Amino acid sequence: MPYSIFFDLKERKAIHGGEVPPPAEREEWATHGCVHVEMPYIEGLFDWAEVGKTALVIQGWRDED
């Protein structure tokens, strides 16, 4: 998992580089809790994040317009 930023070490869940399918296909895919971010965006996020800093992860649904 390139450029991994873990937010749940116990369950091994992370924000990391990976394919992001088109919206029509996304509903058919499932993850194990990870968040995939395409290149080069994950590179920028990884470089921005500081080791040892606390991150707040918000869980919930976003309304689509």
Q: What is the 3-state secondary structure (H, E, C) of the chain?
A: CCCCEEEECCCCEEEEECCCCCHHHHCCCCCCCCEEECCCHHHHHHHHCCCCCCCCCCCCCCCCC
Could you tell me the pLDDT band of residue 57, with boundaries at 50, 70 and 90? low
For residue 11, pLDDT over 80 is answered with: yes
Mean pLDDT over residues 26-51, rounded?
83
Residue tagged 């992370």 (tokens): 14
Q: What's the pTM value of the predicted model, to 2 decimals?
A: 0.62
Q: Which two tokens stand for residue 52?
A: 């040892």
- Please, which pLDDT band fits residue 59 given cuts at 50, 70 and 90? confident
